[in-house]
Amino acid sequence: MSEQSGPLVGAQTPSVRPGAAEPDAAGAQNPAGTPDPVGAGEIRPGTRVVVVGGGPGGYEAALVAAQLGAQVTVVETEGLGGSAVLTDVVPSKTLIATAELMTLVDGAHELGVRFPGGGDRDPGARLSVDLGKVNERVRALAQTQSHDVHRRLEKEGVRILAGTGRLVSPQRVEVALGDGGTTGLDADVVLLATGAHPRTLADAMPDGERILTWTQLYHLDRLPERLVVVGSGVTGAEFASAYDALGADVVLVSSRDRVLPGEDADAAEVIEEVFGRRGMTVMPRSRAASVTRTRDGVLVTLADGRTVEGSHCLMAVGSVPNTARLGLQDAGVKLASSGHIEVDRVSRTSARGVYAAGDCTGVLPLASVAAMQGRIAMWHALGDAVAPLDLRTVSANIFTAPEIATVGWTQAQIEAGQAQGEVVKLPLAGNPRAKMQGIHDGFVKLFCRTGSGTVIGGVVVAPRASELIFPVTLAVAHRLTVDEVAHAFTVYPSLSGSIAEAARRLHNS
Ligand SMILES: Cc1cc2nc3c(=O)[nH]c(=O)nc-3n(C[C@H](O)[C@H](O)[C@H](O)COP(=O)(O)OP(=O)(O)OC[C@H]3O[C@@H](n4cnc5c(N)ncnc54)[C@H](O)[C@@H]3O)c2cc1C
């Protein structure tokens, strides 16, 4: 997909690709245990493929299917690109681009930069963000991106139907058309890629004005004076970090002991420390019981009776898969108790010929994983060579300031004995480039297998960690040893020098 016109998401996880193994390799059993009518290793042009949902799971699959000569129809309710493009990845990262600039400005004083009118101690005091303008840009960029995806699919001969699809059988999808009426589509292969939507709490219902889900944030035209973010997972932490950098007073309400539970503990500690230093209030072990409107703001009541006041509240308490009213039961598609569609590692569901990809499967809620699941489904269904999804090589990033990027095994898994590994951690404060750039927080962590020295994972906490993790991802994907990584040149001075240095420290592991 071309860098210029292609979707902003989806093409980043080349861990599983055609040609790597035959269909039905280990881990590719159909959950139903039934033979699949497709995916037998023979490409059949003209196969009728219906994709329900036009997010990265759906549109990337459609592109592969079209490339393999299938007759492809994508049914989409809201707009091509899905939530990834319209409400989640693209808008949040566009907003964060502005926040990133504000963070840089914040650190400029230390590097000798003075702003006209800025006080000596607070260089950014005279700078402010016009949130109306920022959000206008965010919405425009998301729309453009959605149109780009639309045009690209049309160019590849994919038929696009605006409407809501549901299975009436494994071989037939009924579509309630956006402009009224219904139509039926016969299919040899169906891919369900319907995504997920924000979870809401009965006593904290979003009103789109003061109590908001992340999909409603982009209509704010003024910076909230005091934003209470409920939920300290990835979404909550990213928005808390961004709004703090944009100049809002932020309170982060977390039901857990620390922010980003489930992530690398050292990384979460850095983020919590930075949040505190910047003036954010982080409330650990605080479960929100209700959120109500006050005369000119919101009141968050915690389970233990304490209250927090704010001008606005962002609810970031997880997602619910879009699997209701899809006709899954009638078509024999099994759901997990969480409501996610059960799939195997080549994206097959329990119904013959029906595949599923992305957030509706709950495998790993990342656009890159959704896209790869969708591609794998089509490679498998249409008889191309394919390897099952391998989550060990997925790199992921949390776009806080600093960012947290991870790949492969985690330190917690190594410590729990799930992998035999060695760990080295180098704080960035010792890196020459970091010193020059005034970077004080963050680290590089590398994990290698005990005995062989093969790199099995890593964590980078740094500005633009999302870019720095790639050498570690390459090492994990291609099973490089720490010595092989250490013997490659890095630029001096560079932050990536710390990755090579970490590899050197693991020599003899
Ligand atoms: C705030 C936020 C930020 C994120 N940032 C990142 C990030 O930086 N990087 C990353 O990799 N991931 C990120 N994610 C996760 C990412 O957005 C999802 O993993 C991704 O969108 C999943 O893609 P999908 O194709 O499964 O579903 P979606 O993108 O949700 O698309 C599903 C589409 O299906 C449509 N649909 C649903 N039901 C039907 C139906 N019955 N008929 C027709 N159409 C239907 C919906 O309208 C929707 O357009 C973020 C998530 C959130 C919430």
Write the pLDDT tens digit of every residue in 201-210. Answer: 999 999 999 9
Q: How confident is the model at residue 125 (pLDDT cuts 50, 70, 90)?
A: low
**What are the start-end ranges of the H helices in 217-339?**
234-246, 265-277, 328-331
60 alpha carbon – ligand 1 mean position (Å)? 13
54 alpha carbon – ligand 1 mean position (Å)? 9
Cβ within 8 Å of residue 235, ≥6 positions away:
92, 214, 316
Q: Give the whole-angstrom CA distance, residue 38 versus residue 130.
A: 53
Q: Is the pLDDT of residue 30 over 60?
A: no
Give the pLDDT confidence score for residue 225 in this predicted structure: 97
Mean pLDDT over 147-162 rounds to 98
Q: What is the mean pLDDT of the chain?
A: 91
Cα 380 to its chain centre, rounded Å, is: 24
Give the pLDDT confidence score for residue 127 in this predicted structure: 84
Structure tokens at 223: 């910076």
Give the pLDDT confidence score for residue 44 in this predicted structure: 74
Specify the residue with its C-alpha closest to ligand 1, atom 53. 88
Pocket test of ligand 1: the residue of 88, 160, 200, 363 to mutate, having most ligand atoms within 8 Å of its CB, is 88
pLDDT tens per residue, range 402-421: 999 999 999 999 999 999 99
191 lines ligand 1 (CB under 6 A): no
Give the pLDDT confidence score for residue 20 in this predicted structure: 32
DSSP state of 340: P
Mean pLDDT over 150-157 rounds to 98
C-beta of residue 433 within 8 angstroms of C-beta of residue 491: no
Pocket test of ligand 1: the residue of 12, 13, 86, 89 to mutate, having most ligand atoms within 8 Å of its CB, is 89
Specify the residue with its C-alpha closest to ligand 1, atom 49. 82
Q: Which atom of ligand 1 is nearest to the CA of 196?
A: 30
C-beta of residue 44 within 8 angstroms of C-beta of residue 383: yes
Largest CA distance in the chain: 72
Specify the residue with its C-alpha closest to ligand 1, atom 12. 366
pLDDT tens per residue, range 165-201: 999 999 999 999 998 999 999 999 999 999 999 999 9
C-beta of residue 402 within 8 angstroms of C-beta of residue 20: no
89 alpha carbon – ligand 1 mean position (Å)? 8
Q: Which residues, in sequence order, are bridge partners of residue 457?
A: 408, 447
145 lines ligand 1 (CB under 6 A): no
Instruction: Classify the C-alpha dihedral 246-249-253-257 as positive or negative.
Output: positive
Q: Is the pLDDT of residue 387 over 90?
A: yes
85 alpha carbon – ligand 1 mean position (Å)? 8
Structure tokens at 19: 């040609």
Q: How confident is the model at residue 3 (pLDDT cuts 50, 70, 90)?
A: very low
Q: Enter the pTM of the model.
A: 0.92
193 alpha carbon – ligand 1 mean position (Å)? 9
51 lines ligand 1 (CB under 6 A): no
Q: Give the whole-angstrom CA distance, residue 509 versus residue 505.
A: 9
Give the pLDDT confidence score for residue 508 in this predicted structure: 85
